[in-house]
Amino acid sequence: MKQKLLVEVEGIAKHFVIKQKLFAPKTVIKAVDEVSFGIYSGETLGLIGESGSGKTTVGNLILRLLECDQGKITFAGQDITHLPQRSLRGLRKDIQVIFQHSQETLDPKMTILELLVEPLKLHHIVAPHQFEREVKQLLNMVGLGEGEKHKFPFQLSGGQNQRVGIARAIASRPRFIVCDEPVSALDVSIQGQILNLLLDLKQEMQLTYLFISHDLKVVKYLCDRIAVMHHGKVVEIGENSQVISAPTDPYTRELVNSLL
Ligand SMILES: Nc1ncnc2c1ncn2[C@@H]1O[C@H](COP(=O)(O)OP(=O)(O)OP(=O)(O)O)[C@@H](O)[C@H]1O
Ligand SMILES: [Mg+2]
């Protein structure tokens, strides 16, 4: 069976111009430099590379949190590269994100119940009288007890807050999630639980993931294919086993040797 591409990026670029001192010359950082790849429906594509190689910038471009300087991004057959702000809400329902530090993205003044009702309201997922029932189901899906819903983020552990972040991401019933280092800030003992939760949810909700990580072990465990970034470029992309056991690019070989 021929697989269908859900996400396609073609020659995308993002350059940042920075000026550190008043009379200093400008420096251009090619954070993402003509990157192209596709993500098939239902797959988990790992995006790895050293710190500063451009992984988060790629994710933010796909999420339309940043604008591309050049190139094209297609989602489910639609060119979303320059989709105007007013059309972005529809896209936000389908494309979600899980960040490394969920707690920082959660409003500390809101209870877990309020934090989970917010996306349900925003994207008109269910009628208001069904909010409580839907929240109960979301909590259940991410392995949190119903008793947690009246708590505030500071009253939960790092792992529990990450589960809240995941619940908010799946609340809109998305098709695609950018997971940007979702377990890097967690204790090793908790990492496995969250990774398995992401795998279960993917199955249950037929999700597609872009999984950004600098941890090759995690990517090896979770991803179908792996793309390797180096200085803003994708230097290698292929099946998980092929990239890890028979890398063709010298930088990937170095990365595999140092991390595994
Ligand atoms: N808003 C910005 N302004 C200026 N430079 C930026 C900005 N965002 C990112 N950069 C630079 O772009 C490059 C790529 O950054 P990016 O955050 O995408 O890397 P990364 O691979 O996600 O790194 P990490 O593994 O540390 O998260 C880096 O050199 C970074 O300093
Ligand atoms: Mg990053």
Residue 9 half-sphere exposure toward CB, CA atoms < 13 A: 27
pLDDT surpasses 70 at 45: yes
Contact (CB, 8 A) for 82 and 64 = no
Q: What is the pLDDT of residues 63-113, one digit of tens each?
A: 999 999 999 999 999 999 999 988 888 899 999 999 988 788 899 999 999
* Spatial CA neighbour of 60 closest among 205, 181, 147: 181
Here the contacts of 64-70 (C-beta below 8 Å, separation 24 or greater) are: 64/88, 64/91, 64/95, 66/14, 68/12, 68/13, 68/14, 69/13, 69/14, 69/15, 70/11, 70/12, 70/13, 70/34
Which ligand 1 atom is at minimum distance from the Cα of 50? Answer: 25
Q: How far is the CA of 48 from the centre of ligand 2 (A)?
A: 10
Check if 14 has its Cβ closer than 6 Å to any atom of ligand 1.
no
Q: What is the DSSP string of the chain?
A: -PPPEEEEEEEEEEEEEE--STTSPPEEEEEEEEEEEEEETT-EEEEE-STTSSHHHHHHHHTTSS--SEEEEEETTEE-TT--GGGHHHHHHHEEEE-S-HHHHS-TTS-HHHHHHHHHHHTT-S-GGGHHHHHHHHHHHTT--GGGGGS-GGGS-HHHHHHHHHHHHHHT--SEEEEESTTTTS-HHHHHHHHHHHHHHHHHHT-EEEEE-S-HHHHHHH-SEEEEEETTEEEEEEEHHHHHHS--SHHHHHHHHHH-
In this predicted structure, what is the pLDDT of residue 260? Answer: 66
Q: CATH number for the domain including 67?
A: 3.40.50.300
Q: How far is the CA of 3 from the centre of ligand 1 (A)?
A: 32
Task: Tell me which residue has its CA closest to atom 16 in ligand 1.
Answer: 54
In a domain, 236, yes or no: yes
In a domain, 248, yes or no: yes
In a domain, 112, yes or no: no
Contact (CB, 8 A) for 8 and 31 = no
In a domain, 109, yes or no: no
In this predicted structure, what is the pLDDT of residue 60? Answer: 97
Check if 231 has its Cβ closer than 6 Å to any atom of ligand 1.
no
Binned at pLDDT 50, 70 and 90, residue 2 comes out as low
In total, how many domains does the chain have? 1
In a domain, 151, yes or no: no
Check if 49 has its Cβ closer than 6 Å to any atom of ligand 1.
yes
Check if 67 has its Cβ closer than 6 Å to any atom of ligand 1.
no
CB atoms within 10 A of CB 83: 15
In a domain, 148, yes or no: no
For 63, the domain range is 5-100+178-259
In a domain, 38, yes or no: yes
Testing ligand 1's pocket by substitution, the residue of 29, 51, 101 carrying the most ligand atoms inside 8 A of its CB is 29
Check if 188 has its Cβ closer than 6 Å to any atom of ligand 1.
no
Testing ligand 1's pocket by substitution, the residue of 15, 19, 35, 56 carrying the most ligand atoms inside 8 A of its CB is 56
In a domain, 48, yes or no: yes
Check if 19 has its Cβ closer than 6 Å to any atom of ligand 1.
no
pLDDT surpasses 70 at 168: yes
The arithmetic mean of pLDDT across residues 13-32, rounded, is: 88
pTM over 0.75: yes
Check if 16 has its Cβ closer than 6 Å to any atom of ligand 1.
yes
Mean pLDDT of the chain: 94
